[in-house]
Amino acid sequence: MKRIFCIISCCVFSLVVAAQEHEMSTNYIRPTDPLVLEKLDHWQDLKFGLFMHWGTYSQWGVVESWSICPEDEGWTQRRGPYAANYNDYKKAYENLQTTFNPTRFDPAKWAAAAKDAGMKYVVLTTKHHDGFCMFDTKETDYKVTSGKTPFSTSPRSNIAKEVFDAFRKDGFMIGAYFSKPDWHEPNYWWPYFPPKDRNVNYDPKKYPEKWAAFKKFTYNQIQELMTGYGSVDILWLDGGWVRPFSTIDPKIDWQRTIPYDQDIDMAGIAKMGRTYQPGLVVVDRSVGGEFENYVTPEQTIPAKPLAFPWESCITMGGSWSYVPGDTYKPTNELVHMLVRIISRGGNFLLNIGPSPEGDFSDTAYSRLKEIGQWMKVHGEAVYGTIPFAPYEQGNVVYVQSKDKKILYAYVLSNKEGHLELPAQIVVPGITANKKTKVICLDAPALKLKLVNKDGAAILHLPETLANRAASFRYATTFKIIL
């Protein structure tokens, strides 16, 4: 039965949940806490991180959480034997807790693969909208460490702690994804009323004591994450409909439909978080203002640099959560995404959904390995760089070092992965002088020439290099030392 369900659902749920749900907020407020600024600055230099969506839903291979949300959207559709009746479905979904047993869970293996790929930070779903906690909370029994969950008998059952410890050991910055809405919690979806949509299912103004209890629950859970899990750098809060009414942008469709004020007291949460985790970067996603310290375009890359820190989160497969037989983006495309994102000054948070057994697919490992091989040669043109106008022209993408003394021009391969080098590249906005040096990172011994012409510098690429380029993968880089 489980297998049949997986097969049906993997065809249908491999859709990526509507990217437009998370339009970028524009009312960015730069933090003033020097420790937050310092952490944010450091984070911006890291460029490349690993996102993991993992929960009991991975056992069915369905979209994370959304199939229990009673909205009529493509990504909320129920499939499988319980689909016909909402209550049966929710019960069966929540019952997945009693079979969750990822016996192959070995976060050190993930950390090693991510590190080798050149990733420098990690964000894990400690709790998604369905409310299942991948950490040892005292606030609910709907958690991986509950006696109801078979994995609770493992010494590694506190998954968030194990993941954070393993990645921290490998030098990663640590990010806790946490969903503000909680579709298991009776003070968010009060069983007295049936849930109608993703929002709280009662009017918090009418039942203030219920909302106060939910606020306390949320505060307590975040406090647990901020205290029992070592140093945490990023609190990545999802579920932007949980927000004060005053922050709703009426120009954004999905925000107009939020029925109630759902003020969760971000000021209090951020203050508490930063008491335990000085400099904590808070990402109150899509809400804008003081507690969205960086902005998170989803499944997209902005065309131009943005005026604030940002990160594109993008799935390696077709889905955030594990889907058996998912189709993964080719390495070529993933490297190009990274290059394009950094050329606009952003970070790339690349998502992999671990399997119900607790591992990545072989394909995911091989993508990471190939990205790593490329990063070992080109990493110096990735980390700590800033944008350089015109950012991208044809198949050439530019970035520069922070001190602006080095310019990096990437030449991207075509979609099929072939790298064809032109005879020359026009590099706008710079003037070469006697000291200017050019190095191709894939062929550092080769001497290259840059000459000035009509207000630009022309980089001549000899035929010998063009011939060698056939063996270069994904993108090559010209390092121009000014």
Smallest distance, ligand GLC to C-beta of residue 25, A:
14
Min separation Cβ 298 and ligand GLC, Å: 5
Which stretch, 17-25, 114-122, 389-397, 426-434, contacts ligand GLC (CB under 6 A)?
17-25
Alpha helices in 183-277 (DSSP H): 208-227, 253-256, 266-276
Q: The tokens 């918090």 sit on which residue?
A: 204
| Residue number with the smallest Cβ distance to ligand GLC | 17
Number of H helices, E strands in the chain: 11, 15
Q: Could you say which of 13, 21, 120, 258 contacts ligand GLC (CB under 6 A)? A: 21
> Strand, coil or helix: what is 351?
strand
- Taking the C-alpha atoms of residue 158 and residue 151, their distance in angstroms, rounded to an integer, is 9
Crossing angle of the two packed helices 107-116 and 159-169, in degrees rounded to 10? 40
**String of DSSP letters for 8-59:** HHHHHHTSPP-GGGGPPP--B-----HHHHHHHHHHHHH-EEEEE--SGGGG
> What mask of x and - would describe binding to ligand GLC in positions 71 to 90, judged by CB under 6 A?
--------------------
Question: Cβ of residue 179: shortest distance to ligand GLC, in angstroms?
Answer: 8
Q: Considering the rule CB under 6 A, would residue 182 count as an interface residue with ligand GLC?
A: no
What is the residue type of 278? P
Closest approach, Cβ 62 to ligand GLC, in A, equals 11
Q: Which residue has the tokens 């906690």?
A: 133
Q: 179 or 413, CB closer to ligand GLC? A: 179
> For residue 188, how many other CB atoms are within 10 A of its CB?
25
Instruction: Compare residues 320 and 360 and give the one whose CB is closer to ligand GLC.
Output: 320
64 binds ligand GLC (CB under 6 A): yes
Q: Of the listed pieces 14-22, 218-226, 352-360, 378-386, which binds ligand GLC according to CB under 6 A?
A: 14-22
Distance CA 139, CA 155 (A): 21
Minimum separation from the CB atom of position 449 to ligand GLC (A): 45
Q: Binding to ligand GLC (CB under 6 A): which residues in 44-63?
A: 53
Decide whether 17 or 421 has the Cβ nearer to ligand GLC. 17
The answer to whether the CB of 329 falls within 8 A of the CB of 301 is no
Which token pair is 402?
């922070």
User: Token pair for residue 45?
Assistant: 């230099």
Residue among 22, 161, 243, 479 that touches ligand GLC (CB under 6 A): 22
CB of 59 to ligand GLC, least distance (A): 17
DSSP, collapsed to helix, strand or coil, labels residue 340 as helix
Least CB distance to ligand GLC at residue 21 (A): 5
Tokens representing 30? 């730069």
Residue 238 near ligand GLC by CB under 6 A: yes
Beta bridge partners of 111: none
User: Based on CB atoms, which residue is closest to ligand GLC, 292 or 298?
Assistant: 298
Q: Rounded to the nearest whole angstrom, what is the least distance from the CB of residue 479 to ligand GLC in the complex?
A: 34
The one-letter amino acid code at 444 reads P
Number of residues that bind ligand GLC (CB under 6 A): 9
To ligand GLC, the closest distance from the beta carbon of 127 in angstroms equals 11
| Cβ-based nearer residue to ligand GLC, 236 or 478 | 236
Please select the residue that binds ligand GLC; options are 6, 10, 17, 440, rule is CB under 6 A.
Answer: 17
Residue 63 or residue 427: which is nearer to ligand GLC going by CB? Answer: 63
Closer to ligand GLC at the Cβ: 73 or 357?
73
Residue with tokens 């671990």: 354
Query: Which residues, 6+ apart, have CB-to-CB distance to 96 below 8 Å?
Result: 56, 57, 59, 60
Q: For residue 306, give both structure tokens.
A: 């943005």
- For the chain, give the number of residues: 482
Which 114-143 residues touch ligand GLC, going by CB under 6 A? Answer: none
Residue 432 dihedral angles phi and psi, to the nearest 5°? -80, 145
Q: Build a one-symbol-per-residue string for 298-327: x at contacts with ligand GLC by CB under 6 A, - elsewhere.
A: x--------------x------x-------
Q: Which tokens go with 273? A: 């978080």
Cβ neighbours of residue 449 closer than 8 Å, sequence gap 6 or more? 438, 459, 460
Q: And the tokens for 266?
A: 């971000």
Instruction: Record the tokens describing residue 44, joined without a space.
Output: 């911006």
In the complex, the smallest distance separating the C-beta of residue 19 from ligand GLC, rounded to whole angstroms, is 8
Sites for ligand GLC among residues 335-394 (CB under 6 A):
none
180 binds ligand GLC (CB under 6 A): no
For position 282 contacting ligand GLC by CB under 6 A, the verdict is: no
The residue (of 284 and 370) whose beta carbon lies closer to ligand GLC is 284
Residue number, 313 or 441, with CB nearest to ligand GLC:
313
Residues found near ligand GLC in the complex (CB under 6 A): 17, 21-22, 53, 64, 238, 298, 313, 320
